[in-house]
């Protein structure tokens, strides 16, 4: 849901996290709201689907959520850092 323009509160939390501890691992998990909520920035990044509505969301779309989080956080984080830290957090949290 963070990728949707109406979800400003979550974006504020991400900006605050980035500013507070920029050099520490992120305390974040990523998910998709499969099968219904496709990350909004996916439509902007793939010209072939611009203007269309994808019928399903799945975990392969998480990189777009990571990219959005990195963009919201500013120059302190990039999408790779978000993906790596979120994966490590998932391993710790869920034992996967």
User: Is residue 70 within 8 Å of residue 2, measured between CB atoms?
Assistant: no
Looking at residue 63, what is its pLDDT? 93
Residues of the chain where predicted confidence (pLDDT) is lower than 50: none
In the chain the first and final C-alpha atoms are separated, in Å, by: 23
Residues 20-41: pLDDT tens digits? 877 777 888 888 777 778 888 8
Looking at residue 79, what is its pLDDT? 93
């Amino acid at each position: 849901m963070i990728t949707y323009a109406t979800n400003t509160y979550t974006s504020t939390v991400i900006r605050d996290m980035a500013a507070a501890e920029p050099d520490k691992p992120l305390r974040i998990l990523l998910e998709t709201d499969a099968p219904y909520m496709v990350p909004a920035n996916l439509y902007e990044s793939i010209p072939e689907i611009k203007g269309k509505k994808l019928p399903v969301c799945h975990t392969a779309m998480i990189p777009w959520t990571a990219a959005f989080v990195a963009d919201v956080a500013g120059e302190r984080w990039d999408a790779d850092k978000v993906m790596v830290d979120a994966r490590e957090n998932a391993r710790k949290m869920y034992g996967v």
